[in-house]
Amino acid sequence: MNLTQIIAPSVLNANFLELGKNLQAIEQGGAELIHLDIMDGHFVPNISFGPTIAQNIKKGTSLPLDCHLMISNPENYVEAFAKAGAHYICIHAETTNHLDRLLHRIAELGCIPAVSINPATPIESIRHSLDIVQMVLIMSVNPGFGGQKLIPYTLDKIKNLRDQKPELNIQIDGGIKLDNIQEAQNAGANIFVVGSAIFESPDPQATCQKFVEKIKNPSSID
């Protein structure tokens, strides 16, 4: 199956003083999804932003929002993010005792349900959710901070998941750079979260374009 290859910049790494400009840059650079890392300082050791900021970002872009809830008790917040304009709502399997119920609730709210697992969490833990979700997010770093290096064994998890579910959208998040994105793509990922590599570059639009070209035409960029 020929799945769409997508770059999803993470605005966690953007300059919030120039957020509108950054959003415009990645749109013009060919991004197709905006990734929002929602962190609560409890499930992960950092705090980012909540539904109000997500709603403001939605007003500043034509791209769909991919809200990645790295938070405890996500069941208390999915409705707020749905109202804020989320397209995808991705919850961590590690954060809820009622994964099946919550994924169905996300769908009831009109959003696309997705599930994420940390590097050390086995794929087996979400086996019964694969027919509910339209995307699985494999964390390729331990969540909580941007700028980390990709953990190599997470690519094996992607390969295993792709073998199990050829038609599934598989997203990878963490440590994606121009020099390793092809490896992640070869493993079976088709949606790539890229943060610091885009927003900490001198020209985010041009860098985003390079990432898009790399996944659409892998032989085109050294």
Q: Annotated catalytic sites, by residue? A: 37, 173
Question: With helix as H, strand as E and coil as C, how does the chain read?
Answer: CCCCCEEEEEHHHCCHHHHHHHHHHHHHCCCCCEEEEEEECCCCCCECCCHHHHHHHHHCCCCCEEEEEECCCHHHCHHHHHHHCEEEEEEEHHHCCCHHHHHHHHHHCCCEEEEEECCCCCHHHHHHHCCCCCEEEEECCCCCCCCCCCCCHHHHHHHHHHHHCCCCEEEEECCCCCCCHHHHHHHCCCEEEECHHHHCCCCHHHHHHHHHHHHHCHHHCC
| Range 54-58, long-range pairs (CB < 8 A, 24+ positions) | 54/81, 54/84, 54/85, 54/86, 55/83, 55/84, 55/85, 57/11, 57/19, 57/23, 58/84, 58/85
In angstroms, the CA 179 to CA 41 distance is 31
